[in-house]
Amino acid sequence: MTTTPPPTRTETDSLGSIEIPRDALWGIHTARALENFAISRRPISVYPDLVNALATVKQAAARANREIGVLDAWKAEWIDAACERIKAGEFHDEFVVGVIQGGAGTSTNMNANEVIANVALVANGHAPGDYGVLHPLDDVNRSQSTNDVYPTAVKLAAVFSLRRLLVEHGLLRDSFAAKGVEFEHVLKVGRTQLQDAVPMTLGQEFHGFATTLTEDTDRLGYTVPLLCEINLGATAIGTGITADPNYAATVCRQLRELTGLDLVTAADLVEATSDTGVFMTLSGVLKRSAIKLSKICNDLRLLSSGPQAGFGEINLPPRQAGSSIMPGKVNPVIPEVVNQVAFAVAGADLTVTMAAEAGQLQLNAFEPVMAHSLLQSLAWMTAGCRTLRLNCVDGITANLDRLDTMVSTSVGVVTALTPYIGYAAASALAKTALLTHRNIADLVVEADLMSREQVTKLTSPARLSGIEAITAAMPIIDLEAEQARAEAAAQAAREAAAAASASSSASRGGSGTPE
């Protein structure tokens, strides 16, 4: 049984002729790119923002060319209508060239030109490839070069993507802030270098997470105006060759009207065509945000570790079974996946940095890998913020019993008493508490250093966490009395240690004689 080959059409360029699937809306330049750049197996359509940005740039160019009189009105209208349909989500599957490609993005620009031309042709009763009526290069690409279209489209796509990230980033910040309010009276032990430090509230910890995200939301927002400086009208190297002198200003105005963005034409188009510094800036801010978010996820994993042999201070929502061999195990999979997003973003930032450095003379040929790295980072960060909020942070609860036990037995409480009983006495009490596993407050009262009422007041959650000042009126410590208290506390520690040792020996053998 023979298979009938699909019908084709013939297209020709300076290198020869190629058979193209008859109904394909892309053409010969796209076909050559498909053959040459089978690298990533990821077409540019995986980034809808980039496709929409390309269509928007082409739409603005058609309107500008019509306005300055270098493109027939009917051609401009056909191109405009085709671009509008692409922006509405149609024909994205025709944007098939690989996102990683040689040529500084030429294949992406060619793919866009061909699809727009063929969408317009078919819509007006012509066959795909009937370029005698409407041409991808002479008409759709009029007054343009890949070298101004591609970077402008990448900047627009980055802004479109960044807007969504800013929304999700802000919602995640709000979620942490809400938990900060929910936990504002939940006392816990703070830690430095993973060792017990001084008390704080769980609310303060979560408010800290929210503040971190607020700072990064602001910094991400600062990059938008930088991305709004474009080189459209520069054409090949910034001199504007083949474009009307009025084109650059006209197309920028048209693009402003289409996007609602405060776009400006770069003052030095030669510099703007060769420079990719803004992509490094955006990538660096993304990396900073990702790494700080990853640190928060590290904290969430540590604070929720256990459930019995870890910190166990908070409970993350259980999302899925954690092991194929250990029944009942549940892992912190949501923070873990966000950690991995951060690793990828950090790697992408290095890629952008190396690609930016590798530019030569009037053009950087490596903008495609920069575009891929940035758009992937933006998409993954947006999704990471969303899943962290919905599937983790919103459902976090505090393990109140565990927190209370750790605070009541932590020697960190003694720090709050140091201004009143002195460092030496406090140090001796801390040692006693560690040896005997007893409550600091009880030891202070037993040593007759303070009354129960005084200790209770000074170790209240509000004072311990710094919400109320602990030493509003700092007492003057009597050094002789402090020394006496320290000696008494030290003696108590020695006696407690001896008692603990005797008890241990008795439990081993009864006589206390070494075996």
Say if residues 283 and 377 touch (Cβ distance below 8 Å): yes
Say if residues 263 and 230 touch (Cβ distance below 8 Å): yes
Nearest CA to 383 out of 337, 428, 422 is that of 337
The sign of the dihedral angle between the CA atoms of 47, 52, 58, 64 is: negative
Taking the C-alpha atoms of residue 43 and residue 116, their distance in angstroms, rounded to an integer, is 17
Token output for 22: 């008859």
Work out the number of other CB atoms within 10 angstroms of the CB of residue 275: 17
CA angle 393, 334, 312 (to 5 degrees): 65
* DSSP label at residue 192: E
Work out the number of other CB atoms within 10 angstroms of the CB of residue 195: 8
323 catalytic per annotation: yes
Chain centroid to Cα 205, Å, comes to 20
Q: Which of 161, 289, 323, 427 is catalytic?
A: 323
Say if residues 270 and 239 touch (Cβ distance below 8 Å): yes
Q: Strand 195-201 and strand 229-230: pairing? A: unpaired
Taking the C-alpha atoms of residue 216 and residue 219, their distance in angstroms, rounded to an integer, is 5
Q: Letter for the amino acid at 120?
A: A
Q: Is 8 helix (H, G, I), strand (E, B) or coil?
A: strand
Instruction: Kindly list the catalytic residues.
Output: 323
